[in-house]
A and B are shown apart, each in its own frame.
Chain A
Amino acid sequence: MKTVLHVEQLSGGYSPKRAIIHDLNMEIKEGEMIGLIGVNGAGKSTTIKHILGLMTPHRGVVTINGTTLEEDVELYRSSYTYVPETPILFDELTVEEHLRLTAMAYGVPQEQFSQRAEQLLERFHMTKKRKAISAHLSKGMKQKVMIMSALLAKPSLFIIDEPFLGLDPLGIRSLLEDLVEVKQAGSAILMSSHILSTVEHYCDRFMMLDQGRIVAQGTLQDMLQQASQHSQQNVTTLEDAFYAMLNGGEA
């Protein structure tokens, strides 16, 4: 399978003198969903910002579909869509206009946009809100707009930061169903989340970050095995593995 995201020896942070993430290596292939997990301040969002190209790395290389940001900005950016942790919308745009704006930016053909937008609005129970101005939406609805916009563009890589925050159970289910669908269609997904009980059923592999370093990675089985060895206990869930690895060896 083709590699979509390739991160090599990535170090970086807000200050050029102090790195927050250190020598990260990761690879995501087509049709893979990777869970990026770690406590607050572990470096998950910083890693994501480096991949997005919002921060300049101190060291290392990030490529999406073999292209770096420096080589071709437009090609690099058109390869991913991003759902931020906190919904960032243009206050004056309606839900429908947001979708249209994203589709225009990503060069989605108009017929495809109309059809896909209808499907997404229906799936996320937002049809009645299509003409609503973003500033007047609830946090959960704003998050749905972010997710719909990301799904609309159908890129090779989805970068999703804490997608479940503010979503109702129906929204969470719709999102997960859609993620499975895009994964099956061959897109790669990098998702950061604290809802471990949910992501353990959906992600193919996990990367656990602590203080900017990868402390464990692999499939769920690999993670449970590593945690069991680390804590000398029988670890059966991702949540327990998380505690075991990051809580002084206690599951």
Chain B
Amino acid sequence: MIENKKYSSRYNFAFIDESTKKEIRRKLLKAVAIPGYQVPYSSPEMPIARGWGTGGLHVTLALIGKEDILKMIDQGSDASVNACNLREFVQMMTGCRTTFDTKEASLIQSRHRITEEFLTEEQIFIFQVPQPEPLRGVERYEYKTRQMHGEADYAKMWVSLYESFVRHGDIMLGAGYPVKVNGRYIMAPSPIPRWDIPNLNQSRTLYLFGAGREKRLYAVPPYTTVEPLEFEDVKFKIEQFRDVSCYKTAYRRAFLDEMYLDDGSRQHVINDSNFLDKVEHGQAVIPFTNPYLEQIPQ
């Protein structure tokens, strides 16, 4: 009997068909070649709605191979709903091994955070991006923002930072602080907190960004200069957690979540769940370091 192997499984490996994967990889190559530039791509249909992590998922599925080990995080946590669902989906479509361990993972997809643990050349870090256009806040027309990027016309962006400083005495951008990549394009670093921004600079890891709803891919290749926008006399700052530390581990050099316990008391805890586990159990872990973090007493 002739066996029809083509239809023996209901889905292609990693869900997306091979020619579309090829297209996404081609666009990723272009994104890597022009750091910070937003490359339009197909953004094919997924079994989840656009805007719920499809951009990151496209990149992950286009890159994943049978040997890859996947870590999926949402706001620093491996266990939140978005992370669990996406992890399970990729696992079902590929049969790949998944992990919580940052060090072990070869492919990490994330929403809103970079891990506290140091990333290496062996790993690829993928962001889900809701709004890839850093200029959207100052210019609502797409054709104009493209022209502004083309001509490196970023005065409006700078004026909005100036205005923020004048009105509030500081640059009031929490997540998604605009950065200049490789001295050329201004990029929205997806809504990661300012805390994570310095970890994009001269990193050993390849960072890929996928915005499914807006159909844009972009990248920060390893060892690329990424500078947050700052004036000569008004500097970029990371979040300050003054006089508080993680209530479980007393750790200070990590992004902390504020939470209220059952007894009504207010506590802070390390946001990155895997990092928290490792610190709590005394396992060896190498965190990111940067000049901003080094100012925080340990």
- Do they bind each other? no
A→B interface (CB under 8 Å): none
Q: Report B's interface with A, CB cutoff 8 A.
A: none
